[in-house]
Structure 1
Amino acid sequence: MKWHQALTDYSLYLKIERGLSENSINSYILDVKKLINYLETNTISVSPIDIDTTTVKQFIYEVAKLLNARSQSRLISGLKGFFNYLIFEDYRKDNPLDTIDSPKIGRKLPDTLSENEINNLIEAIDLSHPQGERNRAILEVLYSCGLRVSELTNLKISDLFFDEGFIKVTGKGDKQRFVPILEDTQKYITIYKNQIRNHIKIHPEHQDILFLNRRGKQLTRAMIFTIIKGLAVTIALDKTISPHTFRHSFATHLLENGADLRAIQLMLGHESITTTEIYTHVDRSQLTAVINNFHPRK
């Protein structure tokens, strides 16, 4: 088996058997391509079936000079998954990464925006341009519904159930969930949909996509990043933010205000409550307040 064929087969496995999104599949494939590039650069002729632990260890040692601990851990995990697939398909009997440990990393929590910072970002949107109404609706949806950026760009008009107060969200692995949507957020979407989107010449393939660019096509993930980073510059926000920051802020603010962790888990679309516990950190002052308010010995 050659590397190219192994990558093609692995990609199909991730898509069909695992039900992963295109972005996740690309990340896993990129991990393997880094190993292939190392082999080619060093003229090491070995197949995915025959490569041994020594060669993989040398590759990890070399990339460790260029990657931080978190990126190294991600790469090792991705390669383990690839070789586990080869074992699953009976191409190999062992995984060459079984004896390779990932570097220990601390739990990294993304920046969280305060309510004032979120308000300032939204207020910085120039509503005199047609894109302004769209961008306001986008930020309101990100913050009030806690969506991933891919979930936002794929949101359809047919996914809006305003009479019931929900939107249907298609998450990782095409799993669907219903998320409550605030009346104000519904209002901003309606303004954009009825006053701006109606006047765009929409590409036939994107008739049902809610958020469109000026050419009537689906917005890209990169465009959402650009919009948010541009607003951060406008208000001189001294934080590194992305669409995911709004999702984290959504969960954190709900938790701070007493929301049930299980409810947050369902709205975020996390399979495991453990993921939600990591995602929605509670600072020490809040923990102290919980003890002071609720412990019987207070």
Structure 2
Amino acid sequence: MKAAMKYLPRLAPESWRVVYAIVAAIVLFLIGEAVHPGFLGLANVETILVIASFVGLVAAGQCFVILIGGIDLSVPWVLNAGAIVLATTSMGLDARAPLAVAATLGLGIAVGAVNGAGVAWFGIPAVVMTLAMNGIIEGLVLGFTGGFTCAACSAYAPPVVQSLAHGALLGVPDALWLWVVVIVLVSAVLSITRFGRATYALGNNPRAAVLAGVDARGLTIMLYAASGFFAALAGIMLVGFGGQASLGMGDPYLFTSIAAVVIGGVNILGGRGHYLGVAAGAVSLTVLVSVLLALNMPDYVRSIAYGVVILALLLAYGRETET
């Protein structure tokens, strides 16, 4: 075994974690085919990847804040509020779609920036700040919509947004093209830009990063704003995919976005990790759920599986750092 190991490429632990996440996704696909023949059919794989893209979008923002040792617990209602803003602002009209999309993304950025300001300027723990913001956004949404009973609340997404969620280019769903663009951009930003290097530096050693000239407060606000942006973007895609907004549509994406980041090998304490692994983690989670559904497993088994996978990986990564 040791003789074989020396022929493997010498990769950093962070790079190996990306490999593990990709291998896990492939293995789960194969398990799905074994338990349910036809699981690897093109249509089914496309559907799984499209659903994974929604998790991947939210996880992109979650990845940014976890890389500096933070967390964003406000994503459920930022996503939900974004979906409602899109539907109620556009009223199903393509002519109003640009304004609705801009308002939705602006909302996400604004909420994220407030989260970042609370963490960076006032020293509020990220868990407390973002959880409180999630409650505030939920209350505001329910208040302004009258408990989601307003006439505009039942409006459909504009056809152009629905086509983005359901359309295809060169035989590949548009939602996947969007996710590919996000994967490339986020990976490039973290890998080759000064912004990315500053993010890793702040996550590894905040004091040293500040001494090296990193604007810790400004960077923190920008990263949380990015998290809000991606949550709102996921809201746009989800309302386009489903046709309408609904209360609670963002709730499943809190746990799954964090789980995708952990499975993807990002250090939960910050400073290490790659978004490529997070994307593979999002796919792995979605395939896992699909396999459990194929086996007719109840919902509680899915929750148990999520928890077991996360704990197992955290234990494995912890042992990896000790060796």
**Normalising by the residue count of structure 1, what TM-score does the alignment of the two structures yield?**
0.24
Of the two, which has the highest radius of gyration? Answer: 1
Q: Write 1 or 2 for the structure with the bigger share of helix.
A: 2
Relative contact order higher in (CA < 8 Å, ≥ 6 apart): 2
